[in-house]
Amino acid sequence: MSFNKLPLEPLYEKIEELKPKFIERLSKAVSIKSVSGDESLRPNVVEMSAFLVNELTNLGFEDIQLKDLGIQPPPVNDPELRLPPIVLGRYGNDSKKKTVLVYGHYDVQPASKEDGWSTEPFELVQVEDILYGRGSTDDKGPVMGWLNVIQAHRELGWELPVNLLVCFEGMEESGSLGLDDLIAKEAKNYFKNVDTVCISDNYWLGTTKPVLTYGLRGCNYYQIAINGPGADLHSGVFGGCVAEPMTDLIKIMSQLVDGKGKILIPGVYDMVAPVTEEENSLYDDIDFSVEELNAASGSNTALHQTKQDILKHRWRFPSLSLHGIEGAFSGGGAKTVIPAKVIGKFSIRTVPDIDSGKLDELVINYINKLFKDLSSPNTIKAELIHDGNYWVSNPFNDSFTAALYATQHVWNMKPDFTREGGSIPITLTFEQQLGTDVLLLPMGRGDDGAHSINEKLNIPNYINGCKTLGSYLHYYGKFESNK
């Protein structure tokens, strides 16, 4: 299907007309402190699921289900803590139409004013054309966007051009516990006959040009635990007399990656697929600069000075990041304790064709060799905590083509086709379990500050994002069904 603009202006006008209501809907969602990583706030996460059920009901969704995922596995403080439910809903069930499954999450990262927020994080605050609030861009804005699309169609009296299924989870920020199993269970039930999956849980590369995302890096997360004395010790009494776990750990972690970002573990780069000339050419036209990277990071600390090198190291090559040390003194003041046990945390972002199992073997063997070379009387245990594979899709399939047309129609420009350095493990799960294509169609900008202080969503991105989501459904519905 060639790109001929569909007559969607009435839809766009209705979305503009409903803008105050759409902002109000997002405001209500942001006000619910659905922080999945805080056990004390679990009732708020459940409250957010109830909010969604109420919205779906009022919008005419059918077969709405709250999928109970049971007790949250350890480690937890409350052994009876239940996982928040997954919300499923169906809008339309016409066998002659294509079926689109949209995924989003209704939980958010922790936030408090004391962290450095300029506004109250759980109040949606409008400053000029920017909406500030936790979850505004990750991921309540996009989730509300799908609801807004349905409301606009209903008020216009328009029929939706596809069948729409929604799958909203409440544990994405805490590992998506229970979601993989539910998708596998529902693949031949609730999710049967799904033609494509659309996820809006990522961001533009920069701030001025929309993107469609067809690839993600994977993530293998590791920890190194070193045990020494039977209890924490006073450095004035024991310093210089006992082998200190912290010294061993720092020595090992300093040999995982160098100051230029090069992974020092032998064999990792040998597994990386070579960059082809055709792939190299894809980076030239992408709208991005070193200045945008520095602006997004809030510093002038870029390790690479060309757009191509930055993007390759962000999307195409693996990276190793050191995240922290558990058990070590980290507060204010000058405590002189020798910690008895310390646990170092780090992760490796994976790319084609890194084999996760082979990577684990290389990492663990390398760490154990480094420790052996120290001749330390302490003990060590290095292990994988969790992993998620990389994902690469075909950016020329019907779903991506529909998203391309929709973006061109709304934004009057062709989007960049990008990969991302981060991971959305559920993307691969949907693709494998349902046997369908997955599209990443972002709403927010690259400077939205997801997971950070002052998280925001620009109103033009929110409203035009709704138009893009709605347009995508119309353009995708025009492709011939494979059923």
> Of 411, 397, 414, 416, whose CA–CA distance to 1 is shortest?
397
Rounded to an integer, the average pLDDT of 169-185 is 96
- At residue 418, the 3 state secondary structure works out as strand
Any known ligand binding at 336? yes
**Token couple for 36:** 């999945």
Any known ligand binding at 379? no
Active site residue 387: no
Active site residue 277: no
Residues paired with 338 in a beta bridge: 233
Any known ligand binding at 423? yes
Question: Looking at 38-98, which runs of residues are DSSP E strands?
Answer: 62-67, 86-91
Fold type of domain 9-216+391-477: Aminopeptidase (3.40.630)
Q: How many CB atoms lie within 10 A of CB 313?
A: 16
Q: Residue 3: pLDDT above 80?
A: no
- The pLDDT tens digits for 414-455 are 999 999 898 888 999 999 999 999 999 999 999 999 999 999
Any known ligand binding at 153? no
- The pLDDT tens digits for 73-118 are 998 999 999 999 999 999 999 999 999 999 999 999 999 999 999 9
Confidence of residue 284 (pLDDT cuts 50, 70, 90): confident
- At residue 404, the 3 state secondary structure works out as helix
> Of 388, 466, 403, 424, whose CA–CA distance to 22 is shortest?
466
pLDDT of 1 reads 61
Q: Between the CA atoms of 267, 269, 272 and 275, what dihedral angle is there, to the nearest 10 degrees?
A: -150
pLDDT of 293 reads 86
Within the chain, all domains assigned CATH 3.40.630.10 are found at 9-216+391-477
pLDDT of 276 reads 87
pLDDT of 481 reads 57
pTM equals 0.86
**Token couple for 299:** 């510093």
From 55, 107, 244, 437, the catalytic residue: 107
- CA–CA gap between residue 32 and residue 107 (Å, rounded): 9
Within the chain, all domains assigned CATH 3.30.70.360 are found at 218-272+317-388
pLDDT of 259 reads 97
Q: Residue 275: pLDDT above 70?
A: yes
From 172, 248, 448, 455, the catalytic residue: 172
Q: Specify whether domain 218-272+317-388 bears CATH 3.30.70.360.
A: yes
Any known ligand binding at 234? yes
As a whole number, the mean pLDDT across the chain is 96
Any known ligand binding at 409? no
- The pLDDT tens digits for 356-413 are 999 999 999 999 999 999 999 999 999 999 888 999 999 999 999 999 999 999 999 9
